[in-house]
Chains A and B, each alone.
Chain A
């Protein structure tokens, strides 16, 4: 290969297709980049820089500085075994000559190599590295056609499956077309502009030319750049109106994903709609028009901002159309709001009787009663007598908004809308916020309900659902969780943890089960046996997210998991104590003790039988320790408890060095085992230390 051609070069890939759903773009481009890089890496080819981009109609990948070819290399090619390679006269057989011919060498040039299976003929061949363009032509269509999508389709004569019909592929390496086919479309050196504003095809010479020509058509393939520009333009427009954009990161990502030209459309609506609750305006504009609202001093302005896939609105037609649609939407929203306000929440409670929660678990009216029952119980358990009545009231109103027009139209307003109506009707803050916040936390980083009553109702609602569905034997499996039980369990745990509620959820679950009467198919024990591991899994997940390691959580779980804040305190203490060398030594000792006493029967320690100085010393240390640990555990002072346990390390080590537990005298032996059982009980008060994984390297 000529020297000039070995220079590294840039690979520019653009796949054009019909509009890919916004949510699938990012995962697709990431996968394309990773898998093509991996495919090239297998040939020892790595780019010096990588850039990606996407619009709804394009996936773009630029690999800069990609070597022109694989490295040349020497390979050992083995042929027939030597015993089959020569005849009785020592002349090469056909196996040998054939192999030599295939390798393009004379039979005399063949070497012999020793392998596991014996001696073989072989030849060292000089392999000239394949040109990168050739490798790209193979790997690119393979990676592209195998991208995984959330949903695929077929088109035309059955082409696909892929996310949407493919229309064109631009594939240039060093400015030359990398030839391949993707679903019947041949790669080339041309692309097109915007489908309505600049649809004509044009040729591209390379990355810089591509960038320049797209820019001339106002197309921006870099997602981050679109997002940045949209945000900036919207902030400027909001500022010009004397306000600020109501932030919504998810919406911004959506807007940047559904355009190729990041243009901002500013629209206004009739001031009269500002009398609608803020939540309604924000949701209606967001859900129907993908639009941001603008606020000033906490109040909305009659203004909204959204994307248009173009940089200008030359005759104001885009704005006029959007405003027409928004006016119709807000008229609808006002109609729903006014209709809903004609009847109070209390009057609507009866509507829940015909709204099914689950066909075997009854209506939402019944659920409301059950939530009220659990809410009262939780208040009693917590000693919150002042909140009890309000909690029961909120619980009965909790689901009423499901029967309102507004929530039927905007399901994302469930809870919030009930809260708004309750606020308008003059319910106390505790009650309306409880209704408003009831679906919190909806995700891992969502806050828990803001007040006590809200937390109580949210807990009661989730536990009622968990118990009901589990009670029918409908346990979520794999990815199937139609009732959202994982999220419900997660919410329960988050509320208990973040709300620092020392509440035994199992007690509430038992009460929840009894409220269902004979509707459940599982008995209480079966139910708890099914629910417990499910909740424990969520605890592992949740504490894992908070940075605790698996073994710390396991050790703490073994010490009981019904009181979540206590469990968290124990995990934290373990996490903080585990680097203490004495603690590591006690962990090893705990494992050793567990092994020794595993088979032993429970027996009573007789101090009179203690003979060796080391065991007497240990028993004395244990006496002191027991009280310290008990007192610390009682006060939930787990770091102190664990520190006290760790302080036993020295005495315990001496005991193991000097005392033979499995003594010949059966009484001595039994007594020493009893001593160890006693120690095991004491040091395991806060956590099961044997669950802690000790890396040998940790133990110095």
Chain B
């Protein structure tokens, strides 16, 4: 039975050993590992790219004040991107489960259709939810479009839900009981107070007017950066808008009709960043592409 941090180490070791850049979490609030610029921006254009990282992911509306044994307002995803997706990526993935210590000869592993779509990122992909003994342990997606742009080559995204997997492997009755450190500190000891307080903030305390002003302000900032063709700052501002929207939503401040409008504003920023990033890489002559080409030439 593996602890939380052992899983992170085993997965990092496994994917790092397969040529992935072991990236670190992005230092802004995001809803999913997909929003890390090393996924959202890097999957665009022709340059090859392989990375793996842990990303704390915030879903304010999923918070349960630390009371629910299965739900969290902030959880950790282990994210893998390979571009182009290797032909044997599915068996690479299966081997990653074995690397985590799973003996697949006694488990039931199935890939069930689950196509992924993120309207606020103008992104969609085709893939599965990976079911282990009836439990969803991974999202496996071949990205087809991001930021409203058709992708070529195609990236594969593999997202492991770390808490769920740790919990499931130990058949724990609560997320908070799982061991973060083998035989030592639990997940609850590390995170419970944070969950309680974040839930309270997102559901009760967050200042709606202030958050709205922030949304408007960061939106303007993103647009200014896009005009200046500085993509990373623009994208960071867009991420802030996306998170602010999630908080406003959890706070119950967003009506059904307003929701559509706010989501469109975030989407427009994301699409602007995607276009801007592609153009900026094009201006640079897609540097990773030529380096990969050089390697072949030298090799």
Contact = CB atoms under 8 A, between A and B. Distances in A.
Given A320-B133, A328-B70, 19 more contacts: A19-B113, A22-B113, A153-B125, A153-B144, A155-B85, A158-B152, A158-B154, A195-B90, A195-B91, A195-B94, A197-B105, A308-B133, A309-B109, A310-B108, A315-B106, A322-B134, A356-B257, A359-B256, A359-B257
Contacts of A265: 108, 134
Contacts of B108: 265, 308-310, 313, 318, 321
A18 B111 contact: yes
25 contacts: A18-B111, A153-B125, A153-B142, A153-B144, A155-B142, A155-B154, A156-B85, A156-B153, A195-B94, A196-B105, A197-B104, A289-B134, A308-B133, A317-B106, A317-B107, A317-B133, A318-B106, A318-B108, A321-B133, A321-B168, A321-B171, A325-B133, A325-B134, A325-B135, A356-B256
A80 interface: no
Contacts of A259: 110
B112 interface: yes
Given A325-B135, A356-B256, A258 B109 contact: no
B98 to A, nearest CB: 9
Contacts of A153: 125-126, 142, 144, 154
B148 interface: no
A19 B113 CA distance: 8
A373 interface: no
B151 to A, nearest CB: 8
B132 interface: yes
Interface in A438-481: none
Contact of A196 (B109, B125, B135, B171): B109
Interface of B: 69-70, 84-87, 90-91, 94, 104-113, 115, 125-126, 128, 132-135, 142, 144, 151-154, 168, 171, 255-257
Given A153-B144, A195-B94, A356-B256, A318 B87 contact: no
B281 to A, nearest CB: 18
A699 interface: no
Contacts of B257: 356, 359
B120 to A, nearest CB: 20
A317 B110 CA distance: 15
Nearest to A22: B113
B113 to A, nearest CB: 4
A696 interface: no
A197 B103 CA distance: 10
A289 B142 CA distance: 25
A167 B168 CA distance: 31
A309 B135 contact: no
A306 interface: yes
Given A19-B128, A324-B168, A328-B70, A157 B109 contact: no
Nearest to A319: B133
B94 A196 contact: yes
Contacts of B125: 153
B96 to A, nearest CB: 13
Interface in A292-349: 306, 308-310, 313-315, 317-318, 320-322, 324-326, 328, 332
A323 to B, nearest CB: 9
Interface in A341-385: 354, 356, 359
Interface residues of A, number: 44
A151 interface: yes
B83 to A, nearest CB: 10
Nearest first, the 7 closest Cβ-Cβ pairs linking A and B are A321-B133, A21-B113, A322-B134, A153-B126, A19-B111, A308-B108, A196-B104
A47 interface: no
B134 A321 contact: yes
A646 B105 CA distance: 77
A258 B111 CA distance: 9
B73 to A, nearest CB: 17
Contact of B153 (A18, A158, A195): A158
Nearest to B255: A354
A69 to B, nearest CB: 36
Contacts of A197: 104-105
Contact of B91 (A199, A289, A324, A326): A199
A320 B256 contact: no
Nearest to A356: B256
Contacts of A325: 133-135, 168
B126 A318 contact: no
A167 B89 CA distance: 11
A165 interface: yes
A161 B195 CA distance: 44
B31 to A, nearest CB: 20
B260 to A, nearest CB: 9
Nearest to A326: B134
Contacts of A314: 105-106
Contacts of B69: 328
Contact of A322 (B113, B126, B133): B133
A38 to B, nearest CB: 29
Most B Cβ at <10 Å: residue of A18, A22, A196, A306: A196
Nearest to A355: B256
Contacts of A167: 87
A625 to B, nearest CB: 62
A199 B94 CA distance: 11
Contacts of B151: 154
A157 B292 CA distance: 14
A306 B131 CA distance: 13
Contacts of B105: 196-197, 314
Given A318-B106, A321-B135, A154 B152 contact: yes
A56 interface: yes
A157 B86 CA distance: 9
Contact of B110 (A157, A258, A332): A258
Contact of A318 (B94, B107, B128): B107
A308 B94 CA distance: 17
A325 B169 CA distance: 12
A268 to B, nearest CB: 14
A87 B152 CA distance: 61
A198 B84 CA distance: 27
Nearest to A21: B113
A164 B70 CA distance: 32
Nearest to A20: B113
Contacts of B135: 321-322, 324-325
A322 B152 CA distance: 39
Contacts of B86: 156
Contacts of A56: 110-111
B153 A157 contact: yes
Contacts of B104: 196-197
B142 A318 contact: no
Contacts of A289: 134
Nearest to B105: A197
B168 A154 contact: no
Contact of B87 (A165, A258, A313): A165
A159 B29 CA distance: 35
B176 to A, nearest CB: 14
Contacts of A21: 113
A18 B90 contact: yes
Contacts of A156: 84-87, 153-154
B109 A195 contact: yes
Contacts of B255: 354
A196 B90 CA distance: 11
Contacts of A326: 134
Contacts of B153: 156-158
Contacts of B91: 195, 199
